[in-house]
Structure 1
Amino acid sequence: MATCSRCHQLVDNQAVRCPHCGNQLKGFGHPGIPLYQAEKDTFLCESCLYHEDDSCNFPQRPYAKTCTLYQDKHQPLIHESPKPSLSKNVRLWVERNRWLILLIGLIMVSIALAI
């Protein structure tokens, strides 16, 4: 569940408009893309990464109050996930390659019987 930026009520993630206050939550024609909205006396461009590096071509720039491409310059672009441990990597490799382990085992048994 998401929160409406205007009335702060819980709203379904797929909702295009807030059922409580009618606030538009998704970009027009893009129901899967969230619509970022500025607070009352601020503009989104003031804290947007695309405005800072001058790659934004939004017509309302630098006075945009709503935007679907907004990226907060204080937040990292890529969220790094923790690296799995060595034992977990080995366990995943063994699960994915059981046939290879079986084949190596059969070859070793064949060699042992041949000797």
Structure 2
Amino acid sequence: MFTCPRCKQPVNSQAATCPHCNNQLKAFGHPGMPLYQSTNEEALCDRCTYHLDDTCNFPQRPDAKSCTLFHDYSIPLVPEAIPASQKGWAEIKNWLYRHRGLVAIALLIFVSVILVWAR
């Protein structure tokens, strides 16, 4: 559930239009296409990544109040990379996860050998 930008009423996240004020919430009426809307009178372009790097070709630019391509410039497009100090451990965990059957068999053999030597 999220709130409608116009009437501030709770709305189902899959709804294409707001049942309270009939505001369009999804682009082209398709539930998979989000439609970003300005909550006040300022344009979305002022804080959009594509407007700032001049790659936006939206016809309502620079005064768009709703847009399908909006991305806030304060949020990075690419997530932060894993620090080098943690990269080695992450690679080991990934390898162990991918080969967990082989690791389980190796542990079973190891425990069996320990039990045989203990007698």
Query: TM-score higher than 0.5 here?
Result: yes
Structure 1 regions of 5+ residues with no counterpart?
Answer: none
> What is the one-letter code of the residue matched to 1:20?
H
Bigger Cα displacement from structure 2, 72-81 vs 15-24: 72-81
Contact 2:17 2:29 in 1 (8 A): no
After superposition, the Cα gap between the structure-2 partners of 1:98 and 1:28, relative to the gap in structure 1 and judged at 3 Å, is: same
Percent sequence identity is: 48
Provide TM-score, normalisation by structure 2. 0.69
CA offsets 1:52-84 (integer angstroms, 9 cap, x no match): 00111111111111101100112222455997x
Out of 87, 93, 96, the position equivalent to 1:93 is 96
Report which of the two has the higher share of helix.
Answer: 2
Number of aligned residue pairs? 107
In the TM superposition, residue 90 of structure 1 has moved relative to its aligned partner by 4.6
Provide TM-score, normalisation by structure 1. 0.71
Q: Which residue of 2 aligns with 1:23?
A: 23
Structure 2 regions of 5+ residues with no counterpart?
Answer: none
CA distance in 1, matches of 2:61, 2:99: 50
Bigger Cα displacement from structure 2, 1-10 vs 22-31: 22-31
In the TM superposition, residue 18 of structure 1 has moved relative to its aligned partner by 0.5
Report which of the two has the higher share of strand.
Answer: 1
- After TM superposition, where is structure 1 displaced by more than 6 Å over at least 4 residues in a row? none
CA distance in 1, matches of 2:35, 2:80: 24
